[in-house]
Amino acid sequence: MKKSNSVTAEIVRIGNSHGVRIPKAIREQVGLTGTVTLTVTDDALVIRAKRKPREGWAEAFAQALKEDPEQELLLPDDMGTVYDEDWTW
């Protein structure tokens, strides 16, 4: 389980909105830069660094294959489609 840090912060007014200043040490610890994703879970606000779609999938698949090299793909890498044929206009 990850170590949990706890700090107190005030909600501040930013124009017509409100925000929370996140201390540099915490931002660096969790890798928050640029755009973030906000999620409400039960009664908690969770702030995460925004990830790209399918980020980390290649590494996860490589690890799974390393653990069980006899695995079969459920679908072939190249299924082909009717759109693969030559087009005539």
The answer to the question of residue 76 being in a domain is no
Is residue 46 a part of any domain in this protein?
Answer: yes
Considering its fold, how many domains does the chain have in total?
A: 1
CA distance 25 to 23: 6
The pTM (predicted TM-score) of the whole model is 0.52
So what's the pLDDT on residue 1? Answer: 54
Residue 63 sits in a domain whose CATH number is 2.10.260.10
Angle at 68 between CA 64 and CA 70, to 5 degrees: 125
* Residue 18 is assigned to a structural domain of this protein: yes
pLDDT tens-place string over residues 29-85:
888 988 999 999 999 999 988 888 888 888 888 888 888 877 776 777 777 777 767
Section 16-20 average pLDDT: 94
Sign of the CA dihedral running 80, 82, 88, 89 = negative
Nearest alpha carbon to residue 47 among 68, 66, 33? 33
Q: Does the residue 27 lie in any domain? A: yes
- Judge whether 78 lies within some domain: no
Asked if the structure places residue 15 within a domain, the reply is yes
Residue 22 lies in domain? 7-69
Q: Report the alpha-carbon distance of residue 16 to residue 2 in Å, rounded.
A: 36
Structural domain includes residue 82:
no
